[in-house]
Amino acid sequence: MSTLVFFLPFLLMYTVFAVYAERKISAFIQDRYGPMEVGKYGWYQTVADLLKLIQKEDIIPKNANKTLFMLAPIVIFTAIFCGFAILPLTSSWVGSLSQNGVYFLIAIVSLDVVGILMAGWGANSKYSLLGSLRAVAQIISYEIPVTLSVLCVVMISQSLSLQEISYQQSVLINVFPDLESTKNFLFGIKTMAIDVTAWGGFFTWNIFRAPVLIPVAVIYFISTLAESNRAPFDLPEAESELVAGFHTEYSGFRWAIIMLSEYGMMLLVAILGVILFFGSWNTPLPNIGNITLANWTTGQPGTIIGNLWSILWLISKAMLWVMAQMWVRWTYPRLRIDQLMNLSWKYLTPFAIFLIFMSGLWRLLMI
Amino acid sequence: MNWTINMFYFFGLLAVISALGVLFTRNVLYATFFLILSFFSVASIYVLGNASFIGVTQLLIYVGGILILMIFGLMLTTKLSGKVLVTESHNKRMGVILGVVFFSVLSFIIFSANFEVLNKSVEMPKKMIEVIGVDLMSKYLIPFEIAAILLLIALIGAAVISEKRKEIKE
C-alpha cells in the first residue's frame, strides 16, 4: 500500500511534466521552440491543456456499446497502475513484498490488452477497431521478448523479488536478510577474484555484474517501447492512417485517462528497467579508497537520508530512461506492420532466447 | 472474522456470481467478460490461500492468454458478420436433470470426504518459489518436459498452419 501513496500523485505530476518535456524535446529535435506562450518558457502549457480536457464534454457515440466504452479507460489504467504495486522505491520503502514480484508485474500489465479491446470494439468505429487490433497484436507479440529479457535478469539474480534484485546491486548487499555473505565480483567472474562488494557504485549494477545483460537491456528497451505503444512502434495510433487508433472516439476526461495510462506505462517500464539493469535505487558513484562516495550517497536503510538518496537515484535514472524514450520517438520513423512483426518474431525473440542461454552460462561463472 | 477470510468469501461469491453470469448471458461477448471476472476471482482466492504463484500463473495463462485470444476472435467475427453472437439453449429438461444429479453427487462426495489437511496447520516454506522450482526440476521433471515438448509441437504447428502456401506448379 505504502508505495501507492507515492505513485498516484507522482504519476499525475510526472505526466504533466512529461507532456511538457515531450513537446520541448520534439521541438528541439526539429529545431523549433515548442510551446512559448503560456507562462514563462511555456511552463503552464500542459496545465492549461489539462484544464481544457477536464472541462470538455464527455461524448459517447450514439451507436457505441456504452458499458464497454465507458469502462475501457478504467480497465486500462487499473491494469497498468497495478504494476506499480510491487516496485521498491528506496532501500527501506518497498511495495508489496510478494516473492513473485516481477512475475506478477508481467502478468498484470498484460491485462491492459483487455481494456484496449474493450475501447476499440465498444466505440463501434472502424478506426478504433483497427487500431485496437493492431495494438493487441503488437502488445502480445512484444510481450515475449520483454518476458524473456526479464527472465535473463532473473536467471542472473536468482530471485523474482524486485527488492532482493535491488539489494544485490547495492553496496549494502549484506544488509539484506538472505544475502549476508554474498559477494559481488568484477563482471561477476569469480575466478578473477576482484571483490567489488565494498566498491559499490556502478561496479555492482547488473549490467556490470553480468555484462551479458547489456544486449538484454537493449532488447528490453526496444520491446518495452512497443509495449507502451510508443514511436517507432506507434502503429496503433498512426495518425496518418487511423486518426488516433483505439482512442479515436474518446474525449475529455476519458481520453485523459488513456493518455495518463500511456505515460504511466512509460514510467513503469522505465522504473522496472532501472531496477533490473541499472542498479535500482543505488548510487552510480563507487567507493574509492577512503573516499567512500557510495556509502555517502546511499545512506543507511531506514534513515531519512537513506530514503532520500535512494529515491533520488531511482527517479532520476527512470527520468533519463523516459527521456531516451522520447528521444527515440522524435528521431526514428514509424515501422510498417510487417516490419514490426518481423522485428519481434525473427530478431528480438530468437536473440532473447539465445541470451537466456548465455545468462545461464554466465551464472555458472558467478558461483 | 479477520480481513483475509472476509476477502476470501468476497472473491468466492464474486467467482460464483460471475460464473452464473457466463451461464445466463446470451451475448457471447459479455459471457467472455464475465469469464474474465470469474478467473480473476479464482486467482484472488489462490493468492488469499497462500498460493500466490498459482494465482499469478492463473492470471498470466487464463486471463492474459486464453481469454484475450477468445475476445480477439469473437470481436473479429461479430464485426465481420455484423450479427451479435447469441447462445441458444437446447435440451432444457435433460440439462436440468443432469445438472441436478451431478450437483448432488458432487456435494454428497465432497461433504463426506475426509480432508485431513483441513484440521492441520501447514507450515509454509520460506521461499515458496524455490520449492516449486526444485520440485519441477527433480520430482516432476518428466511431466514438465512433456509439457514443454507439447508446447513446442503446438508452436511449430501454428507456424506451419499460418505459413503462406506456395502455389503448386504443374
A226 pLDDT more than 70: yes
Same domain as B152, residue B83: no
Output DSSP code: residue A201: G
Distance, CA of A239 to CA of A225 (rounded, Å): 18
- Is residue B42 situated within a structural domain? yes
The separation between CA A173 and the C-alpha centre of its own chain, rounded to angstroms, equals 24
For residue B79, which residues of chain A lie inside 8 Å, CB to CB? 121, 129
Give per-residue pLDDT as tens, A68-77: 888 889 989 9
For residue B74, give the chain A residue with the closest CA. Answer: A121
pLDDT the model gives residue B15: 92
Q: What confidence tier does B49 reach under pLDDT thresholds 50, 70, 90?
A: confident
For residue A110, which residues of chain B lie inside 8 Å, CB to CB? 60, 64, 68
What are the residues whose beta carbons fall under 8 Å from the beta carbon of A250, sequence distance 6 or more?
A73, A119, A123, A258
pLDDT the model gives residue A286: 82
| Structural domain containing residue B157 | 127-170
- Is residue B39 situated within a structural domain? yes
Mean pLDDT, chain A, rounded, equals 84
Distance, CA of B126 to CA of B130 (rounded, Å): 9
Q: What grid cell was written down for B107? A: 456435494
A95-99, A347-351, B104-108, B127-131: which range is least confident on average?
A95-99
End position of a domain, from candidates B43, B72, B89: B89
Same domain as B1, residue B71: yes
Same domain as B139, residue B76: no
Q: Which of A16-25, A122-131, B125-134 has the highest mean pLDDT?
A: A16-25
Determine contact, residues A204/A282, Cβ cutoff 8 Å: yes
B79 pLDDT more than 70: no
Which of A100, A111, A121 minimises the CB distance to B52?
A: A100
| Cis ω for the linkage preceding A232 (within 30 of 0) | yes
B72 pLDDT more than 90: no
Which of B64, B76, B79 minimises the CB distance to A107?
A: B64
Amino acid at A201: G
Inter-chain residue contact B127 with A111, CB threshold 8 Å: no
A97 pLDDT more than 80: no
Determine contact, residues A80/A262, Cβ cutoff 8 Å: no
pTM (whole model) above 0.90: no
Inter-chain residue contact B60 with A106, CB threshold 8 Å: yes
Determine contact, residues A103/A160, Cβ cutoff 8 Å: yes
What residues are paired with A288 via a beta bridge? A291
Assign B109 to helix, strand or coil.
helix
A354 pLDDT more than 90: yes
pLDDT the model gives residue B143: 93
For residue A109, give the chain B residue with the closest CA. Answer: B64
Same domain as B149, residue B84: no
Name the domain count of chain B: 2
For residue A121, give the chain B residue with the closest CA. Answer: B75
Inter-chain residue contact A129 with B53, CB threshold 8 Å: no
Distances (CA, A) of A199 to A120, A203, A228, A285: 52, 7, 36, 9
Distance, CA of A159 to CA of A155 (rounded, Å): 8
For residue A133, give the chain B residue with the closest CA. Answer: B72
- Is residue B14 situated within a structural domain? yes
Assign A291 to helix, strand or coil.
strand
Q: What confidence tier does A2 reach under pLDDT thresholds 50, 70, 90?
A: low
Same domain as B132, residue B84: no
Amino acid at A285: L
Work out the minimum CA distance from A113 to partner chain B, whole angstroms. Answer: 7
Same domain as B69, residue B133: no
Mean pLDDT computed over A238-263: 80
Same domain as B79, residue B6: yes
Give per-residue pLDDT as tens, A17-58: 888 888 888 888 888 888 888 878 888 888 888 888 888 887
Same domain as B80, residue B13: yes
Q: What confidence tier does A243 reach under pLDDT thresholds 50, 70, 90?
A: confident
Distance, CA of A304 to CA of A338 (rounded, Å): 51
pLDDT the model gives residue A335: 83
Supply φ then ψ for residue A71, to 5 degrees. Answer: -75, -30
Give per-residue pLDDT as tens, A270-296: 999 999 998 888 888 888 877 777 777
Mutating which of B67, B71, B155, B162 best tests the A interface, going by the most A Cβ atoms within 10 A?
B71
Determine contact, residues A310/A91, Cβ cutoff 8 Å: yes
The separation between CA B97 and the C-alpha centre of its own chain, rounded to angstroms, equals 26
For residue A158, give the chain B residue with the closest CA. Answer: B130
> CA A164, A169, A174, A180 torsion: positive or negative?
positive
Same domain as B75, residue B1: yes
A145-149, A181-185, A305-309: which range is least confident on average?
A181-185
Inter-chain residue contact A111 with B60, CB threshold 8 Å: no
Supply φ then ψ for residue B72, to 5 degrees. Answer: -55, -50
Interface of A with B in 124-153 (CB under 8 A): 129, 133, 136, 140
- Is residue B152 situated within a structural domain? yes
